[in-house]
A and B are shown apart, each in its own frame.
Chain A
C-alpha cells in the first residue's frame, strides 16, 4: 500500500436537485452551474486533498440517477467509508429524505462509515429567501446520530471544502497495518487473495499461457 495516500470511497445521497453534484463540482473544479440538469451519466471521479502530511484521495460516487425511482443498489454505499447526506435548507421534504438516508446508512453501510449531514443552498437565505429547515433541527439530528454537520452553498463555495476536510480528518490515516485492521469501516483490504481484474484487461493470454 502506498504510504501517505489513503483512498476514501465517498458516496452522495439526498433528494433530487438538492445540489449533490453541484457540491462535488465545486469541490473538484471550483465551478458552479445555474440550472444544472439532473444527474445521469457522470458518476465517478476522484480528487486528492492534502491534510497535514497525508494525502487523501476521495473516490466520489454519484448515484447515476438510480435513486430517482427508489432503485439505488445496495452496492452503491457498500464499503463506502464516507457519505454526504445532502438536503436543501429551503425544502423541508428534502430534510425528511435526509433522515431516511441516515437511517438506511446506519442499517446497511459499513459500521465505521463517516456521515456528513449537509444543508445546502445557504446563499438563498443570505439573499433574502426563506429558510425552511432550522439549523437547530439539523444539529440535533447530527448530534443524535453522530454525524458531521455543515451548511454549505455550492453556488458561492461557502463551507464546501470544509465538508471534505472534515471527513478527511476523521478518517483514520497512517500506518497501513492499522488500515487493514479496519475490516468493516475500512480502507480497502489488501490481502494476497484479492484480485485486480482490471490488470487482466489486455486479454493477451495465448494458448501458450496454459501452464498445466
Chain B
C-alpha cells in the first residue's frame, strides 16, 4: 500500500539528519542512561491510550509539542483496546474455562483481537481523513465491510449500495423508490450558494420531517433514511433542523460511493490497531511512551491548575493534561446513558447475508418497540480478529429497562447459535468542565454509535480548547510519496 519511498522520503531525511546529529557527546550506553537523561518537563501530558488520546497525542507531537503519554495499563487502547480471548475471559468471567478447553474450542489465543467497543470507520468520514492525512495508513491495513443490513418485520435486508441493488431491493415499492430517487437527487445536487438546488427547503429552518413531507416519503422510507443512512439511533432528529441529517446522509452516500460494498471500513487485527498507529506517529515526532505506569498523584499549583503527575518512574511536569474519564472520575459526570454491549463468538456466518465475512445490522427502534436502535457489528477471520471459521458479533444499544440483557433478545435471535457470550454495561461519562480553569482536558466515553464521527468531533473540540486554534487538515505535500 505504500508508494515507493525514495530519497525524498521525509522520514528518511529525518532519519539521516538525526543520525548525523552529533551534538550529544559523552553519554553513550550506560544502562542507567534512561534515568539520568530522562526529561521531566513536557508541553503536554496525556493519560490513557484510547483512540481519542492517541490521535491528540499524535497531532500535538506533529505540531512540535513535547508530549509525555502514560497509561496505567500494560497495553495500548484503554477502553478502546482489542484483546485476546484469554484477556476477554479474564475481564468478563469469574470462572474462565481452562486453557486447554479454550484452545480446543477456539484455537490459538494469539489469533484473537476482540474489540471491546464495536465501531466501523465511515469510508469518507473524518477519522479516515485524519488517517490518510497523518500517514498513519502506513501502519494499518483496512478492508471494506461487506454489507450493511437493516431489520424489517422480522427479516434482514441489504441496504442497497448501488443503483442495481436499489432497483431490485424489496425494501420499497416501485413508486416509493421513485420518490426516494428524487430525494437522493436533491441531496447530491444541493449546493449551499445555489438557491435553485435547495428546491425551496432551508436546512436550518425546515425540520427533517418537513423535508420528508416535501418528497412525499412514507413512514417506512423515513425509518430507512433516518436509521440506515443518517444512522440516527432514535427519532429525535425528525423535529430538528434538517442540516445535520442532510450532512449525515451525504456522508453515508459518499462513503458508499468510495469503495462500493458498504460505507464502512475496518482495520486488519482489530480497532486496537488505531490507537497504536497514532501512538507510533506521536513517538516518531518525539512523543515519550510509558505503559504500565499508574498515576500515584496528580499535582496542582496554588491556583488549582494542573502541574504534573507523580509515578513510579518519576515526577513529570506539564502545564496541561489530556486524559480519559477513568483518570479523573471526580471531574466527570454521567450522561445518564448506559450502553450494553454483548460480544458473541459464532462458528457460522449470520444467516441471510450471503455468508458475508463482515456486516453491520441495524435493528431500528420502532421495529422492536424500543426508543433506541440496536446495532450488530460482525467481523471474522478475514480481518485477523479470530481463528478460522469463527465470527465475532458485537451487539450494542442504549439501556432502556432494568433487564438490559432481555433488550438484546431480537439481536441474539438473528445471530443464531452462539458459542460464547461476554456481556457488559458501560456508563457513559463526559467532563464537567471545559478544562480552561484547571487545565485538565477530558475526553468523553465512547458512545453507542456505530462509527467514529462523534469521537472525531471530541478530538477536534479538545484540540481547539488545548491549542486555541481549530484543527484543520492541511493539504498533504504532494511530493511526499513520489
Contact = CB atoms under 8 A, between A and B. Distances in A.
A73 B29 contact: no
B269 interface: yes
Nearest to A21: B19
B14 A42 contact: yes
B353 to A, nearest CB: 15
A33 interface: yes
A147 to B, nearest CB: 20
B288 A68 contact: yes
Interface residues on A, range: 35 or more
B257 A209 contact: yes
Given A45-B12, A211-B253, A66 B279 contact: yes
A211 B258 CA distance: 9
A188 interface: yes
Contacts of B22: 33-37
B215 to A, nearest CB: 14
A212 B313 contact: no
Contact of B15 (A41, A188, A197): A41
B286 A40 contact: yes
A44 to B, nearest CB: 5
Interface stretch (B129-137, B205-213, B294-302, B460-468): B129-137
Given A78-B269, A198-B3, A212-B253, A66 B289 contact: yes
A200 B258 contact: yes
Interface string A41-55: 111111000000000
Nearest to A63: B283
A41 B409 CA distance: 51
B50 interface: no
Interface stretch (B187-195, B437-445, B448-456): B187-195
Interface stretch (B99-107, B140-148, B340-348, B421-429): B140-148
Interface in A3-40: 7, 16-18, 21-22, 24-25, 28-29, 31, 33-40
B259 interface: yes
Contacts, number: 212
A90 to B, nearest CB: 9
Contacts of A200: 123, 128, 132, 258
Nearest to A195: B142
Contact of B292 (A21, A39, A70): A70
A68 B288 CA distance: 9
A34 B20 CA distance: 9
Contact of B76 (A28, A31, A73): A73
Nearest to B54: A73
A207 B18 contact: no
Contacts of A74: 76, 276
A107 B20 CA distance: 36
Contacts of A107: 110
Nearest to A48: B4
A188 B1 CA distance: 8
Contact of B1 (A24, A29, A39, A198): A198
A108 B129 CA distance: 30
B256 A211 contact: yes
Contacts of A207: 187-191, 250
B31 interface: yes
Interface in A98-118: 107-108
Interface in B257-281: 257-259, 261, 265, 269, 273, 276-277, 279-280
Contacts of A193: 143-144, 146, 261, 382
A131 interface: no
Contacts of A34: 22
Contact of A39 (B18, B163, B189): B18
B263 to A, nearest CB: 11
Interface in A177-212: 188, 193-198, 200-201, 203, 205, 207-212
A64 interface: yes
B286 A33 contact: no
Contacts of A201: 132-133, 476
Nearest to A26: B19
Given A188-B141, A197-B142, 10 more contacts: A33-B21, A36-B21, A37-B18, A41-B15, A68-B288, A193-B143, A193-B146, A198-B135, A210-B187, A210-B250
By Cβ-Cβ distance, the 9 closest A-B pairs, closest first, are: A42-B15, A210-B188, A17-B29, A211-B257, A210-B253, A64-B283, A71-B289, A73-B276, A75-B276
Interface of A: 7, 16-18, 21-22, 24-25, 28-29, 31, 33-46, 57, 59, 62, 64-66, 68-71, 73-76, 78-79, 88, 91, 93, 107-108, 188, 193-198, 200-201, 203, 205, 207-212
Interface of B: 1-6, 9, 11-12, 14-26, 28-29, 31, 33-34, 76, 110, 123-124, 128-129, 131-133, 135, 137-144, 146, 162-163, 166, 184, 187-191, 250, 253-254, 256-259, 261, 265, 269, 273, 276-277, 279-280, 283-286, 288-293, 313, 382, 473, 476, 481
